[in-house]
Chains A and B, each alone.
Chain A
Amino acid sequence: DVKVTQSSRYLVKRTGEKVFLECVQDMDHENMFWYRQDPGLGLRLIYFSYDVKMKEKGDIPEGYSVSREKKERFSLILESASTNQTSMYLCASSLGPGMNTEAFFGQGTRLTVV
């Protein structure tokens, strides 16, 4: 069974903290994505990676960075958390370039920055 696992379901962090959100997939997928989901705004792409050490900015990369040192793991980093980064964060993975298949999602991390 396909699995995308996010390290935490709920996180509470203080303003200014450095925050790491981890995502691991066991499907040998090349593509991995980080989205944030806010009420009324849908899913917005933060970053994606199509290979180890490769990354592309999505629609809202400001205040975020990512790391992909191994194929199965994609980390989202909030360099200095702010209250406007309070949100649901969803990780997803899919097969590589040119493959027209669905994306599989993790269960989400609800981050609250206080």
Chain B
Amino acid sequence: EDKVVQSPLSLVVHEGDTVTLNCSYEVTNFRSLLWYKQEKKAPTFLFMLTSSGIEKKSGRLSSILDKKELFSILNITATQTGDSAVYLCAVRSPWIGGSTLGRLYFGRGTQLTVWP
């Protein structure tokens, strides 16, 4: 049973479009939600969100968290071909109960393809 669910699994858009990627989660003792971008190599870190309603922004990318409804969105405006990648959402929660050992639960990713 997936603890982190991303949608859509795949998305094809044209350059200049705006896209919204979704991530919903169900974990106990939530600590943070992270977004990564993965091209044909290592995932690279985009954002970490810990508080509801506070938007994080980096250039054309932005993300926000809703801890009440247990989801996050990643927005990309004015998409470019270089945005083509798999976008991964991960949620950190303690390994066991109240343990301080944290682990990340990953979703299956959203494959974004941007056509010129």
- Give the total of A residues in contact with B, Cβ under 8 Å: 27
User: Cβ of B32: which chain A residues have Cβ within 8 Å of it?
Assistant: 100
1/0 per residue A73-114: CB within 8 Å of B? 000000000000000001000000111111111111000000
A43-B106, A97-B100 given; A105·B43 CB < 8 A: yes
B109 partner, pick from A31, A42, A90, A108, beta carbons under 8 A: A42
CB within 8 Å of A: which residues of B?
A: 9, 31-32, 34, 36, 41-45, 48, 50, 88, 90, 92, 95, 99-104, 106-109
Name 9 interchain pairs, CB-CB below 8 A, sorted by A: A44-B106, A50-B101, A56-B101, A101-B48, A103-B45, A104-B45, A105-B44, A106-B42, A108-B42
**Least distance between A90 CB and chain B CB atoms (Å):** 7
Q: Which 5 A-B pairs have the closest CB atoms?
A: A42-B108, A97-B100, A105-B42, A43-B106, A98-B100
A107-B41, A108-B41 given; A41·B100 CB < 8 A: no
